């Protein structure tokens, strides 16, 4: 289990416990965190679970999957620290992860 | 004006199988889809990705599934209205009047929404001021390439559309190609071709840049693009093209008076009817307790919604349940001779 903080674009912060084996996207969806759409359900076929990962965390989470950057090209305002939250797996090691949500997903 | 027993919105797997079910029970139907081809998300998002949970099909790709569903519709003559989006739904004398953005009008007692996550629309530029110049000097698709002749065109994106157009338009225009990273997802051959044109000075390549803002007086004058390291460059341009792929939006469906739950439509589980009589929702777009967003669920929902349509389309007839294995009527509809 890991505590993950999701910060909405308006600054509102949500810290929740997410079970190991889930993804950061699933943690948000199961807890009704606004700002993550996940239209395709986690199959890396859309870019609507886009998050910004805080610099200090970027290299500590699992690396990008092949094709993830291709999808991020299609996200709203992608940046250097952009990730698809459906591709970040939750484990004890990412306790305290902070992700910022973009202004919108679509 | 087109009269039909049922209008299906969405030509994805659920819409296709629902059409099959309608025809099987003797109703006619037409299908509208905003995309230029049949198949919905299966074709647009994951044509090559294998699917493992279609009953009785151990493995197939989105494209194969679509092809099989189209094959299954072969006995029937179903009219597809592609590249059209349903914009308006109005009640008229106990029937529904449906209008598309191309002006097609349908009159039908039944509308089945099989719209997935909504209609596919191009992803647009983030700066708000871009809206004002949309379809004037900022475009998300090319309809008439002649207007770019002799002009400076700035193209954003790293996929096939962006690179194909950069290569094509570089023959007669001055091209800036701008992409957020230095890898391109376009086909390798296309990337090689583009790199060669960049080397020969036919394309000005800017990587790790994104659009920051646009500068206009009476018309578009220049754009500011920002590098990953925050450095900003001003480039003169007459036109801007953005190719960031497609996103899905609920769109006009939100205005039809249906009960919505986030981006989905609430339905009952007997007829998959919405709060409006004669409007049904099936597949990913519908929502009810226990809903699973699986293709197989969409098939079931479509089969039940099709039976519900019968009552409104043939108020004086009684629907009789029949199996395809034994029913002569169904076999004749399928064009199968003998028994």
As a three-state string, the secondary structure of chain A is CEEEEEECCCCCEEEEEECCCCEHHHHHHHCCCCCCCCCCCCCCCCCCCEEEECHHHHCCCCCCCCCHHHHHCCCCCCCCCEEEHHHCECCHHHCCEEEECCCCCC
Of B116, B48, B35, nearest in space to B283 by CA? B116
> Is the Cβ of B47 closer than 8 Å to some Cβ of chain A?
no
Task: Give the end of a domain, one of B244, B260, B282.
Answer: B244
CATH code of the domain containing B107 = 3.50.50.60
Kindly state the average pLDDT of the residues A42-62. 92
Q: State the nearest Cα–Cα gap between A80 and chain B, in angstroms.
A: 7
Nearest to A51 by CA among A67, A27, A75, A29: A75
Same structural domain, B105 and B207: no
pLDDT of residue B338: 66
> For residues B210 and B67, what is the distance between their CA atoms, to the nearest angstrom?
38
Q: Do A40 and B181 touch (CB under 8 A)?
A: no
Q: How many CB atoms lie within 10 A of CB B231?
A: 10
pLDDT per position as a tens digit, A72-88: 999 999 999 999 999 99
Q: Which residues of A make CB contacts under 8 Å with B?
A: 37, 39-41, 43, 45-48, 69-70, 73-74, 76-80, 106
Quick one: B199 and B160 in the same domain? yes
Domain residue spans of chain A:
2-100
**Structure token digits, residue B187:** 């086909």
If one counts every other C-beta atom within 10 angstroms of the C-beta of residue A35, the result is 21
Q: Give CA–CA dist B103/B2, Å, rounded.
A: 11
Which positions in chain A touch B46 (Cβ < 8 Å)?
43, 45
Tell me, yes or no, whether B108 and B254 share the same domain: yes
Alpha helices in B141-294 (DSSP H): 160-169, 188-199
Mean pLDDT within A57-77 = 93
Place of tokens 């000097």: B137
Q: Which of B325, B278, B321 is nearest to B26 (CA)?
A: B321
Residue B339 lies in a domain: no
Please check whether residues B149 and B225 belong to one and the same domain: yes
- Residue B180, helix vs strand vs coil: coil
Domain membership flag for residue B288: yes
* Domain boundary, last residue among B224, B244, B264: B244
d(CA B242, CA B246): 11
Single out the residue of B230, B225, B239, B280 nearest to residue B256, CA to CA: B280
Q: Under a CB-based contact definition with an 8 Å cutoff, are residues B161 and B139 in contact?
A: no
Which residues of chain A have a CB within 8 Å of the CB of B49? Answer: 43, 45
Contact A73 B157 (CB under 8 A): yes
Mean pLDDT by groups of 10 residues along chain B of 339 residues: 97 98 98 95 86 96 97 97 96 96 97 92 92 94 93 97 96 97 95 97 97 93 96 97 90 93 93 98 97 96 98 96 94 85
Q: What is the pLDDT of residue B249?
A: 85
- Whether residues B117 and B251 share a domain: the answer is yes
Range of the domain at B6: 2-121+247-333
Domain shared by B109 and B165, yes or no: no
Residue corresponding to tokens 């093209």: B241
- What local confidence, expressed as pLDDT, does residue B337 receive? 81
In chain A, which residues have their Cβ closer than 8 Å to the Cβ of B181? 69, 73
Cβ contact A74–B247 (<8 Å)? yes
Rg of chain A taking only CA atoms, in angstroms = 12
**B228 and B162 fall within a common domain:** yes
B338 within domain boundaries: no
Whether chain A has a CB inside 8 Å of the CB on B45: the answer is yes
B92 and B141 belong to one structural domain: no
B266 and B329 part of one domain: yes
* Cα of B110 vs its chain's centroid, Å: 21
Interchain contact, A74 vs B123, CB within 8 Å:
yes
Residues B112 and B252 in one domain: yes
Asked if B248 and A106 come within 8 Å (Cβ–Cβ), the reply is: yes
Percent of chain A with pLDDT over 90: 86
pLDDT at B247: 86
Q: How high is the pLDDT of residue A43?
A: 83
CA distance B52 to A44: 16
Which residue of chain A comes nearest to B294, CA vs CA? A41
**B47/B195 same-domain check:** no
Alpha carbon dihedral B52, B55, B56, B61, in 10-degree steps, equals -40
**Any domain includes B290:** yes
CA distance B14 to B267: 16
Q: Considering CB atoms only, which of A39, A41, A69 is closest to B183?
A: A69
Residue with tokens 């391109």: B184
Q: What is the pTM of this model?
A: 0.79
Do B45 and A40 count as a contact with CB atoms less than 8 A apart? yes
For residues B234 and B255, state if they share a domain: no
Proportion of chain A above pLDDT 70, given as a percent = 100
Nearest CA in chain B to A67: B185
Cβ <8 Å between A45 and B45:
yes
How many structural domains compose chain B?
2
Position B255 in a domain? yes
Chain A contacts in chain B segment 122-161 (CB below 8 A): 123, 126, 157-159
Give the distance from residue A82's alpha carbon to the nearest chain B alpha carbon, in angstroms.
Answer: 11
Q: Could you count the other beta carbons within 10 Å of the beta carbon of residue B317?
A: 10
Which CATH number does the domain A2-100 belong to among 3.30.2130.10, 3.90.180.10, 3.40.1190.20, 3.10.20.30? 3.10.20.30
Does some domain include residue B258? yes
């Amino acid at each position: 289990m890991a505590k993950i903080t999701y910060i909405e674009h308006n600054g509102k912060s949500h810290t929740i416990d997410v079970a190991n084996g889930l993804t950061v996207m699933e943690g948000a969806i199961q807890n009704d965190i606004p700002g993550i759409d996940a239209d395709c359900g986690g199959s890396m076929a859309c870019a609507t679970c886009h998050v910004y990962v805080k610099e200090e965390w970027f290299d500590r989470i699992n690396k990008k999957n092949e094709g993830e950057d291709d999808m991020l090209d299609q996200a709203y305002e992608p940046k250097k620290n952009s990730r698809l939250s459906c591709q970040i797996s939750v484990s004890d090691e990412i306790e305290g992860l902070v992700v910022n949500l973009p202004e919108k997903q679509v | 004006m087109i009269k039909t027993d049922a209008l299906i919105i969405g030509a994805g797997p659920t819409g296709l199988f629902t059409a099959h079910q309608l025809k099987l029970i003797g109703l006619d139907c037409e299908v509208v889809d905003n995309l230029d081809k049949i198949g919905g998300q299966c074709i647009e998002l994951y044509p090559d990705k294998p699917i493992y949970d279609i009953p009785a099909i151990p493995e197939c790709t989105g494209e194969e599934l679509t092809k099989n569903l189209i094959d299954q519709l072969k006995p029937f003559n179903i009219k597809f209205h592609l590249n059209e989006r349903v914009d308006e739904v109005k009640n008229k004398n106990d029937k529904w009047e449906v209008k598309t953005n191309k002006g097609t009008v349908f009159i039908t007692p039944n509308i089945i929404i099989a719209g997935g996550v909504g209609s596919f629309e191009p992803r647009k530029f983030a700066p708000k001021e871009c809206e004002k110049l949309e379809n004037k000097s900022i475009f998300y698709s090319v309809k008439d390439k002649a207007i770019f002749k002799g002009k400076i065109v700035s193209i954003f994106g790293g996929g096939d559309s962006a690179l194909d157009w950069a290569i094509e338009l570089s023959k007669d225009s001055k091209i800036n190609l701008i992409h957020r990273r230095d890898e391109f997802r376009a086909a390798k051959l296309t990337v090689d071709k583009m790199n060669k044109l960049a080397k020969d000075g036919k394309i000005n390549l800017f990587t790790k840049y994104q659009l920051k803002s646009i500068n206009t007086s009476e018309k578009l004058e220049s754009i500011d693009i920002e590098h990953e390291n925050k450095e900003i460059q001003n480039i003169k341009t007459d036109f801007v093209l953005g190719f960031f792929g497609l996103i899905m939006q609920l769109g006009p469906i939100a205005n039809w008076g249906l009960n919505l739950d986030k981006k989905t439509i609430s339905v009952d589980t007997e007829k998959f009817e919405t709060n409006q009589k004669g409007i049904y929702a099936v597949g990913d777009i519908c929502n009810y307790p226990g809903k699973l967003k699986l293709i197989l669920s969409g098939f079931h929902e479509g089969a039940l919604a099709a039976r519900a349509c019968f009552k409104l389309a043939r108020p004086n007839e009684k629907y009789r349940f029949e199996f395809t294995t034994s029913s002569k009527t169904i076999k004749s509809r399928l064009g199968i001779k003998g028994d």
